[in-house]
């Protein structure tokens, strides 16, 4: 018998599996709002002009080569990524107190961070918001951390359960790790206000909890790179240590290039050097060293004032189109007199809207209307267009009546 004969088939990934189902559906009006990837008004994937430009320069540069990068990746990319997230005036940046390694996009940064924590953090207990991006639980469990949750979302208000969140932070053992979405919380689209961030910081710093920021949407949420980093920067100024996972999948539209970074903020420059050496110990046996191409493009854009400005314009263009889809969908539901309150669609931040549709309603919308979304009722606003908002509103209206 085969050595694999005893293996049970694993379930399809709840998010990536939707793509398969969508592809197999022959219906002409089918709509894929499952995976969080930006689409143009015409429903097409978008490669930013600035990315094309940087890429062209890179591939035609006669001095470019295909040698291995170091274990920690492209050093210029790492420095510029750190500065983008924390800001150039950040004390920890200026004091060289942050160890940064290039990673396989945001997921790879989370995983390398998790492996590092598993080996070197005293508690190995991480608290994730409830709910959170589904892959968080798997990444941290696979790495061997103990995963717990803190209250985050209040389904009665479709907003933040701030009191529950604060109680759970205060109740966590003092050396626990706390995962925070830097902005545009996935899947809910609900972020803390600046004042709530301040109170969370007080609780987290006061109890010596270790923040692990996941920044997958910097600039994509509000259109402003610095506004979307405000929570992180507040913590970086006040916490002696923290971790940050960065992804360029969304904000540069570089999904498949797997460009990201992991930063570990330390108490001294010497400590950062030691931490950097240990991050390399995690990476070397896992994938040896990261890919050159995506990081080269990102470094070219971040390192050129001219390309950087072009990027900011294209980035806010994407953010604006998403905000426009929020108001169009909201208006379409209002026109139909769809029962219920839909204000949250306007208020939520970032790529996703947590519609409030139940699992049963989602199944109905997918079966009858051929609209694909995750079973928690999350839709990617970036997958909508002016043309399809009405169709989605028809489907939602039908599902809730």
Q: Which residues bind ligand PMP (CB under 6 A)?
A: 36, 105-107, 133, 181, 186, 214, 216, 247, 249, 255, 260
Residue 158 or 180 having the CB closest to ligand PMP: 180
Question: Judged by CB, which is closer to ligand PMP: 97, or 377?
Answer: 377
Could you identify the residue written with the tokens 């991050």?
279
- Provide, rounded to whole angstroms, the least separation between the CB of residue 247 and ligand PMP: 3
Place of tokens 């990261």: 290
Residue 333 or 349: the one with the smaller Cβ distance to ligand PMP is 349
Among the options 133, 311, 342, 369, which is catalytic?
133
**Encoded tokens for 332:** 């379409």
d(CA 357, CA 336): 17
Residue 182 dihedral angles phi and psi, to the nearest 5°:
-60, -40
Rounded to a whole number of angstroms, the distance between the first and last alpha carbons of the chain is 54
25 is catalytic: no
Active-site annotation holder among 124, 168, 228, 250: 250
Q: Minimum distance from CB of 252 to ligand PMP (Å)? A: 11
Cis peptide before 131 (omega within 30 of 0): yes
Q: How far is the CB of 111 from ligand PMP (least distance, A)?
A: 9
Which position has the token pair 């190995």? Answer: 124
Residue pair 96/239 in contact (Cβ under 8 Å)? The answer is no
From the CB of 36, what's the least distance to ligand PMP, in Å?
5
Taking the complex as a whole, the smallest distance from the CB of residue 186 to ligand PMP amounts, in Å, to 4
Q: Let me know if 250 is a catalytic residue.
A: yes
- In the complex with ligand PMP, the residue whose CB is nearer, 248 or 342, is 248
Instruction: Collapse the DSSP code of 156 into the 3-class scheme (helix H, G, I; strand E, B; otherwise coil) and give the result.
Output: coil
Q: Helix, strand or coil for residue 316? A: helix
Q: How many CA atoms lie within 13 A of 319 on its CB side?
A: 23
Cβ proximity to ligand PMP, 116 vs 133, nearer residue: 133
The nearest distance, CB 260 to ligand PMP, in angstroms, is 5
Residue 132 structure tokens: 């959170």
How does strand 153-154 pair with strand 159-160?
antiparallel
247/355 with CB nearer ligand PMP: 247
Is 4 catalytic? The answer is no
Of 53, 191, 197, 214, the catalytic one is 214
Confirm if 211 and 239 have CB atoms less than 8 A apart.
yes
Residue 277 half-sphere exposure toward CB, CA atoms < 13 A: 5
Residue 279 backbone phi and psi in degrees, to 5? -60, -40
Task: Reply yes or no: is the peptide bond before residue 363 cis, omega within 30 of 0.
Answer: no
Residues classed as catalytic: 133, 214, 250
């Amino acid at each position: 018998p085969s050595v694999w004969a005893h293996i049970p088939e694993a379930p399809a990934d709840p998010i990536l599996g939707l793509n398969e189902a969508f592809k197999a559906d022959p219906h002409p009006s089918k709509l894929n709002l499952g995976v969080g990837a930006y689409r143009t008004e015409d429903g097409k994937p978008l490669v930013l002009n600035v990315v094309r430009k940087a890429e062209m320069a890179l591939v035609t540069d006669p001095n470019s080569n295909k040698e291995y990068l170091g274990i920690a990746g492209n050093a210029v990319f790492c420095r510029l990524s750190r500065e983008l997230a924390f800001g150039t005036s950040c004390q920890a940046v200026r004091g060289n107190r942050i160890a940064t390694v290039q990673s396989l996009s945001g997921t790879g940064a989370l995983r390398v961070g998790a492996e590092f924590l598993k080996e070197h953090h005293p508690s190995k207990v991480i608290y994730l918001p409830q709910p959170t991006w589904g892959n968080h639980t798997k990444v941290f469990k696979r790495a061997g951390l103990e995963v717990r949750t803190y209250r985050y979302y209040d389904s009665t208000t479709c907003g933040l359960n701030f009191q529950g969140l604060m109680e759970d932070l205060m109740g966590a053992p003092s050396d626990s790790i706390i995962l925070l979405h830097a902005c545009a919380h996935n899947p809910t689209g609900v972020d803390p206000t600046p004042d709530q961030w301040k109170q969370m910081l007080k609780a987290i710093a006061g109890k010596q909890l270790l923040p692990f920021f996941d920044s997958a949407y910097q600039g994509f949420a509000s259109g402003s790179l610095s506004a979307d980093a405000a929570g992180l920067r507040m913590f970086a100024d006040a916490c002696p240590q923290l971790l940050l996972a960065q992804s360029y999948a969304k904000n540069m539209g570089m999904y498949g290039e797997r460009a990201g970074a992991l930063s570990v903020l330390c108490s001294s420059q010497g400590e950062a050097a030691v931490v950097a050496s240990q991050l390399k110990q995690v990476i070397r046996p896992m994938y040896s060293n990261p890919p050159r191409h995506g990081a080269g493009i990102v470094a070219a854009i971040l390192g050129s004032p001219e390309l950087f400005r072009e990027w900011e314009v294209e980035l806010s263009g994407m953010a604006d189109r998403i905000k426009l889809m929020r108001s169009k969908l909201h208006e379409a539901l209002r026109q139909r007199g769809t029962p219920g309150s839909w204000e949250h669609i306007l208020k939520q931040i970032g790529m996703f809207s947590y519609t409030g549709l139940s699992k049963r309603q989602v199944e109905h919308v997918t079966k009858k209307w051929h609209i694909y979304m995750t079973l928690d009722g999350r839709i990617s606003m970036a997958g909508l267009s002016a043309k399809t908002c009405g169709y989605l509103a028809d489907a939602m209206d039908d599902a809730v009546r």
